[in-house]
Amino acid sequence: MAKKVIVGDIWKQKGFKVVSTNLGGVHGRGLAAQAKQQGKITRFNKSFATSPKNSDVITLAVKGNAPETARINVGGKPQAYSEQTSGKNVELLKSEVKQLIQFARKNPTKNINLPFVGLGFGEGKPDEILPILREAEKEPNIHLISKDEATVKRYQSTFRTGVRSDKSKVSSISKNMPMNFSYGDQGLP
C-alpha cells in the first residue's frame, strides 16, 4: 500500500479537513483555532457527531472524555479539560476515528484530509496514536496531512506556547508532532 502523506497546508487541500478538538469546545490552538478564526467551527463543534453541517470541516475529539474529568471553570467561563486527568483520550480518539472511517466508506468519492491528530501539543504518544491513524489511512480516500514550515509560519499565532487550565505549560509545537513526516522516521512499515 502506498503511503498517503501530504506535506503542506490542510486548508489548501481539496475535500474534507479533519480538525482535532476537545470536548470542552475551547478550540484555542492549532487547527481548531484556525478553523474557529475562519468561522468554520464554533464551541458546539467538538466531536465527530457534532461536526458542522454543510461544511468541508469534520471535527474529531481527541481529548477531554475521562469520566473523572470535570470541566474546569475560570471566572465562570468553561476552559479546556485537563489533559493530566484525561486518561481515556486514546479510547476517545479510537472511537472518533472509527466513525471517520465509516463516513469515508459511505462517501468513497470524497477526499478526507486527516492531520496527525492527538500528537500536536504534547498530548499523545506516537506509539499509541500512529496505529490508530494507520487504520484510517487504509481507506483509499483518507490522506494524512503533515504541516510544513511555511504552514507553521503562516499560522504561527495558533501554535503559540500556552498554559493549560490545569496550569501545566505547553510547548508551541510538540516533539511528537510530525513535520515533513515519513513513516521511516518512526520505524513503521
Q: Which of 31, 23, 49 is nearest to 116 (CA)?
A: 31
Q: Which of 153, 139, 148 is nearest to 181 (CA)?
A: 148
User: In the structure grid, which three cell numbers stand for residue 81, read together?
Assistant: 479539560
User: What whole-number percentage of the chain has pLDDT above 90?
Assistant: 44
Evaluate if pTM is beyond 0.85. no
When mean pLDDT is compared across 7-16, 81-90, 105-114, the lowest value belongs to: 81-90
Q: What pLDDT was estimated at residue 125?
A: 81
Binned at pLDDT 50, 70 and 90, residue 177 comes out as very low
When mean pLDDT is compared across 15-19, 92-96, 97-101, the lowest value belongs to: 92-96
Q: How many CB atoms lie within 10 A of CB 13?
A: 16
Are the CB atoms for 115 and 63 separated by under 8 Å?
Answer: no
Residues forming a β-bridge with 114 = 144
Mean of the pLDDT values across residues 99-119?
95
Binned at pLDDT 50, 70 and 90, residue 40 comes out as very high
Binned at pLDDT 50, 70 and 90, residue 23 comes out as confident
Q: What pLDDT was estimated at residue 27?
A: 83
Q: What pLDDT was estimated at residue 121?
A: 63
Q: Where are the alpha helices (DSSP H) in the chain?
A: 30-37, 89-106, 126-137, 149-154, 183-186
Q: What pLDDT was estimated at residue 119?
A: 80
Binned at pLDDT 50, 70 and 90, residue 76 comes out as low
Residues forming a β-bridge with 63 = 22
> Which distant-in-sequence residues (6+ apart) come within 8 Å of 154 by Cβ?
9
Average pLDDT, rounded, for the chain: 77
pLDDT reading at 35 higher than 80: yes
> Which distant-in-sequence residues (6+ apart) come within 8 Å of 8 by Cβ?
145, 147, 148, 150, 151
For the stretch 155-176, pLDDT in tens is 888 877 654 444 444 444 444 4
